[in-house]
Amino acid sequence: MARAPVPIANLSPLEAAGELQSLAQQLQAADVAYHANDAPELTDAAYDALKQRFEAIQQAFPDLKALADRSASVGARPSEKFAKIRHRRPMLSLDNAFSEDDVADFVQRIRNFLGLAAEAPVAFTAEPKIDGLSLSLRYESGALVSAATRGDGEEGEDVTINARTIRDIPHHLKGADVPAVLEVRGEVYLRHADFAALNARQEAAGEKVFANPRNAAAGSLRQLDPAITASRPLGFFAYAWGEVSALMAETQSGMVAAFAQLGFATNPLMRRCGSVAELVAHYRSIELQRASLGYDIDGVVYKVDRLDLQTRLGFVARAPRWAIAHKFAAEQAFTVLEGIDIQVGRTGALTPVARLKPVTVGGVVVSNATLHNADYIAGFGKDGEILREGRDIRLGDTVIVQRAGDVIPQVVDVVIEKRLAGAEPFPFPTICPCELATAVTREETVTGEESKIRRCSGEFACPHQRIEHLRHFVSRRAFDIEGLGEKQISFFFEKGLIREPADIFTLEARDAAPGNLQKLQNFEGFGGTSVANLFASINTRRTIGLDRLIYGLGCRHVGETTAKVLARGYGSWSAFEEACLKVAAGDVEARAEMDALD
């Protein structure tokens, strides 16, 4: 397990200063990765642990205030891609609670601040903390006039056009009695099923796949092309507000009920609670429902219900004193690493996959998890930084598996104390697992460093790469041949019937050839009708758009967009082929022409 950090009481001021500075840098980098790049580098649990330590040191060493200034910033600076919108009321963050004690402290702080007698009641709302991205919608005379992301809390990105494509966001507020100005705030999110479908489409198109639904929601909302946002079924729950000309209720729960009346989706799991015990009971109940909600939540938010009390309580730095987020523990479990398989992708990239003794993580049985790449197994991160305090991952190790918001489970750590005697570092293959045993290479990246990715150098000789190429060729965004999916491709490949794309189009003729003993309809699982249907669907694809053909070739770096550009630029297969041959032969002019396409 991770080495325990030095107790804060044992830190000298100099050590505390050094650690504060380092923690501030790590948190800042994590904020940028998470908010600005939609590509988190830390799990939520790891981030929270850093932040807790940062805050604890800061409290113990109040003189080091200047170093601690980063704590006043929320999120990351808005990106340059979008116009900016200054929030009329800042969009704030929430403090976190991690235990029942923290919740009890929160309630006690509020009672003390308000000077309430022991028996005086205070009501709270408790509702799921949606793991998406917050959005502020401004309505004037009932009409949606702008939508802004949180950005740095003061200024966000103008995503009005994109927000208009979200079904849960009304363009006009419902009802006769709407406030002159109303800023409704809430969370944009993506449901699990829609996330999985989006990633399948992205993968088939050779585009970036998203790490989790939150990133996918953020990436979908922060699009320069609103048609892309519109094609992704984002949801929105309203739970807060910014500027309002006249409040519609005297309580938090009343305001949220009013949002529902105005036409917004509000979360059905919001409850009013009168005590710490009720808050925690509702937290437990939401936690039990978490796996079946169909969208990601990462905790429960408690808010003082009466708005006059919220006003009296006010804010501390970046968060309201009247609210707190009670976070769920990360979904982790211990299990044993029974094997490491190497998968070879279309481009030859070797990906290690952990075969695990099956274990339930957050309600889902996990038996495979990603190990990312050779460096990750050895204990190094993307930029060569040390991971897991240098612990490598070995066969037979007891490991910690995590299913955070991330859909692909990952091995995050090793219990070093349980390592078997004689366990050796994993020898990452230097040859491809296929029968050709081709050498594996690490190429240089554009910056001249060695890439993390090891590739089989066999290209079209490697059967793994050939199968993956064929699968890509028939995928939905390429030739889209019905009845010829991944399973059938592997089958035909193994039987030697389809070894390259052109074989698909001679399959019928070969099947009908006199003397053919390998008739498809004689294979198990292929009746006469299904064979006829397959031939028919292949025949409908004898002519397709040039862009699909180019994309279907599965060249590295040629996703759907590039394929469209090339198809538009060259117009015909022969012109494209001629240009490719010239570029390959080192023709500088042809290369410049190709580079100039856009």
3-state secondary structure of 62: helix
Cα(322)–Cα(303) distance, integer angstroms: 6
Q: Which DSSP category does 505 fall into?
A: T
Copy the structure tokens of residue 58. Answer: 């800061």
DSSP string, 398-433: EEEEE-SS-SS-EEEEE-GGGPPTT-------SB-S
Considering the complex, state which of residue 16 and residue 238 has its C-beta at the smaller distance from ligand IVH. Answer: 238
CA angle 57, 63, 65 (to 5 degrees): 75
Minimum Å gap between C-beta 109 and ligand IVH is 16
- Nearer to ligand IVH by C-beta: 134 or 199? 134
Residue 187 tokens, joined: 């969370």
User: Between 91 and 144, whose beta carbon lies closer to ligand IVH?
Assistant: 91
Task: Return left, alpha or beta for 46; rule: phi > 0 is left, psi -120 to 50 is alpha, else beta.
Answer: alpha
Number of Cβ within a 10 Å radius of residue 134 = 21
Q: Of 129, 303, 327, 452, which residue is the catalytic one?
A: 129
Closest to ligand IVH by CB, 134 vs 160, is 134
Q: How far is the CB of 156 from ligand IVH (least distance, A)?
A: 11
- Rounded to whole angstroms, the Cα distance separating 213 from 193 reads 10
CB of 246 to ligand IVH, least distance (A): 20
Kindly state the smallest distance separating residue 115's Cβ from ligand IVH, in Å. Answer: 23
In the complex, which residues of this chain contact ligand IVH (CB under 6 A)? Answer: 92-94, 127, 129-130, 134, 187, 239-240, 301, 320, 323, 325
Measured between alpha carbons, how far is 127 from 495 in angstroms, rounded to an integer? 56
Q: 227 or 316, CB closer to ligand IVH?
A: 316
CB nearer to ligand IVH: pick between 134 and 373 = 134
Give CA–CA dist 46/237, Å, rounded. 27
Angstrom CA distances, 165 to 171, 493, 506, stand at 10, 43, 45
User: Measured from the CB of residue 318, what is the shortest distance to ligand IVH in angstroms?
Assistant: 9
How near is the Cβ of 320 to ligand IVH at its closest, in Å? 5
Is residue 272 classed as helix, strand or coil in its secondary structure? strand
Q: Are 216 and 210 in contact (CB under 8 A)?
A: yes
Rounded (5°) CA angle 85-81-385: 115
In whole angstroms, how close is the CB of 54 to ligand IVH at the nearest point?
16
- Burial class of 97 by CB neighbour count within 10 A (0 to 12, 13 to 18, 19+): buried
Angle (nearest 5°) at CA 232 between 226 and 235: 105
- Closest distance to ligand IVH from the beta carbon of 406 (Å): 18
Judged by beta carbon, residue 131 or residue 331, the one nearer ligand IVH is 131
| Closer to ligand IVH by Cβ: residue 317 or 575 | 317
Find the distance separating the first CA and the last CA of the chain, reported in whole Å. 51
CA distance 343 to 418: 28
Q: How far is CA 254 from CA 123, 129, 156, 214, in A?
A: 13, 19, 27, 28
Task: Summarize the chain as % helix, strand, coil (round to 5).
Answer: 40, 20, 40
Angle between helices 588-596 and 573-584 (to 10 degrees): 130
418 is catalytic: no
The residue nearest ligand IVH at its CB is 134
How far is the C-alpha of 577 from the C-alpha of 558, rounded, in Å? 15
CB of 325 to ligand IVH, least distance (A): 5
* Residues with Cβ within 8 Å of residue 232, at least 6 apart in sequence: 190, 194, 198, 216, 220
Of the two residues 321 and 499, which places its CB atom closer to ligand IVH in the complex? 321
Q: Which of 455, 396, 462 is nearest to 424 (CA)?
A: 396
Which one, 307 or 415, has the nearer CB to ligand IVH?
A: 307
- Contact in structure between 362 and 291 (CB atoms under 8 Å): yes
CB of 174 to ligand IVH, least distance (A): 22
Catalytic positions: 129
